[in-house]
Structure 1
Amino acid sequence: MEKARPASLASPDTVRVTNPGGSSPFVLTCDHASNFLPAEFGTLGLTAEDLSRHIAWDPGALPVARRMAQALDATLVETRISRLVIDCNRPLDAPDLVPPVSETTAIPGNARLSESERAARVALSWQPFHDTIAGIIDNRLSHGQQTRLVSVHSFTPVYKSKNRPWHIGIIHDEDRRLAAPLISALKRLAGVTVGVNEPYSPADRVYFTLERHARLRGLPCAMIEIRNDEIAGDTGQRKWADLLTGIFSDLEPEEAGQTRSHSVGKSVQSAN
Structure 2
Amino acid sequence: MLGTPVTGGVLIVSDHASAHVPADIALGVAPEVFSQHVAIDIGVAQVGALLAQAPGIAAFQGGVSRLVCDFNRDADAPAVIPEASDGHAIPGNRLDAAGRVGRLARFFDPYHAALEAILAAHEPALIVSLHSFTPRLASDPAGARPWHVGVLYNEDARAARIAIPLLEAEPGLCVGDQQPYSGRLLNATMNRHAEAHGRPYLGLEIRQDLIGEEAGQARWAARLARIIPQVMAGLAANR
- Confirm whether residue 94 of structure 1 aligns to residue 74 of structure 2: no
Q: 5+ residue gaps in structure 1?
A: 1-16, 261-272
SS at the partner of 2:52?
helix
Deviations 1:115-134 (Å, cap 9, x if unpaired)?
11111111221111111111
Rounded Cα–Cα distance in structure 2 between residues aligned with 1:182 and 1:72? 21
Asked whether the 8 Å contact 2:153–2:184 carries over to 1, the reply is: no
After TM superposition, the score normalised by the length of structure 2 is 0.93
CA distance change for structure 1 residues 209 and 101 in 2, over 3 Å: closer, same or farther? same
Offset at 1:174? 3.0
Q: Which residue of 2 aligns with 1:84?
A: 67
Where do residues 7-86 of structure 1 align in structure 2 (5 Å cutoff)?
Answer: 17-22=1-6, 25-42=9-26, 44-86=27-69
In structure 2, the residue matched to 1:216 is: 196
Give the counterpart of 1:114 among 73, 77, 96: 96
Tell me which of 126, 148, 167 is aligned to 1:148: 126
In structure 2, relative to structure 1, the CA distance for the partners of 1:252 and 1:85 (3 Å cut) is: closer
Cα deviation 1:221-270 (Å, max 9, x = unaligned): 121100000001000000011101111123353x125898xxxxxxxxxx
The separation in 1 between residues aligned to 2:2 and 2:155, in whole angstroms, is 30
Aligned-partner residue type, residue 66 of structure 1: A
Name 1:127's counterpart in structure 2.
Answer: 109
Give secondary structure in 1 for the equivalent of 2:74.
coil
CA deviations over 1:128-174 (Å, ceiling 9, x no partner): 11111110111124xxxx53211110000001212100000010123
Q: Write the distance in 1 (CA, Å) between the matches of 2:152 and 2:66.
A: 20
Change in CA separation of 1:20 and 1:115 when aligned onto 2, cut-off 3 Å: farther
Question: How many percent of aligned residue pairs carry the same amino acid?
Answer: 36
Deviation at 1:32, TM superposition (A): 0.2
> How far apart are 1:73 and its partner, in Å?
2.8
TM-score norm. by structure 1 comes to: 0.82
Q: Is the 8 A contact 1:79 1:125 kept in 2?
A: no
Among candidates 225, 229, 232, match of residue 245 of structure 1: 225
Describe the SS at the equivalent of 1:158.
coil
Which ranges of 4 or more aligned residues in structure 1 deviate by more than 4 Å? 257-260
Count of residue pairs the alignment pairs up: 236
Give the whole-Å Cα distance in 2 for the aligned partners of 1:140 and 1:116.
35
Say if 1:30 and 1:228 are closer, same or farther in 2 by CA, change over 3 A: same
Answer yes or no: is 1:158 the counterpart of 2:136: yes
Q: Following TM superposition, by how much is the alpha carbon of 1:24 offset from its aligned partner in structure 2, in angstroms?
A: 5.4
Distance 1:72 1:153 in 2: 22
